[in-house]
Amino acid sequence: MNSLILADKLRAKSIAFPCISTGVFLYPNDEAAIVAIRTVKRYLMEDKTSLDEIIFVTFKELDYKLYHNVLNENAN
């Protein structure tokens, strides 16, 4: 959430979040996707923002599919 707050303080128009700690640090990929998306959605619901675009950056196909699925589940 701190990154979103800082982006707004800087009046940024976009921000990108890489899928971190899921490789060498073995943080569960599915949990990382859920936490990242839930945090961003909560911030957007609670605060006015300067951001027009928020990007989730994935490297692995697995992560892309997880983020895609979580975003689609939460869209309904």
pLDDT digits (tens, 9 = 90+) for 9-52: 999 999 999 987 887 788 899 999 999 999 999 999 987 899 99
- Residue 74 binned pLDDT confidence (cut-offs 50, 70, 90): low
> Which of 7 and 21 is assigned the larger pLDDT?
7
CA distance readout (Å), 35 to 6, 10, 11, 12: 19, 24, 24, 22
The model carries a pTM of: 0.83
- As beta bridge partners, residue 54 has 15
